[in-house]
Amino acid sequence: MTPAWTVKDHTGQHRPEFVAASRLEVGRRIVPTHYDAFRLHVSSSYRELFERAVGQVLAREGWQIVKTRVRAQRAAA
């Protein structure tokens, strides 16, 4: 089992299309506009705008970003 982040909707169901290795990556998947990953790490004002956009989507949809575990896929021999 690998730790991961995903979106939990208003019914409590996890949304597998949003599974990612970090909370930041989940946020980048749910916002309607592109946010540059490098700028998110180096610019606090850019990160603030991003967090505001993520918060708006989460509030509008009734979602939460939560930590979960996913099963690692075994490579076929």
Residues 40, 50 contacting (CB under 8 angstroms): yes
pTM of the model: 0.82
pLDDT of residue 2: 74
Residues 68, 13 contacting (CB under 8 angstroms): no
Using CA atoms, how far residue 28 sits from 17, 21, 33, 35, 50, in Å, is: 12, 12, 8, 7, 8
pLDDT of residue 3: 80
Mean pLDDT by 10 residues, the chain (77 residues): 88 93 95 96 97 97 91 57
| Pairwise CA distance, residues 7 & 62, whole Å | 10
pLDDT of residue 1: 64
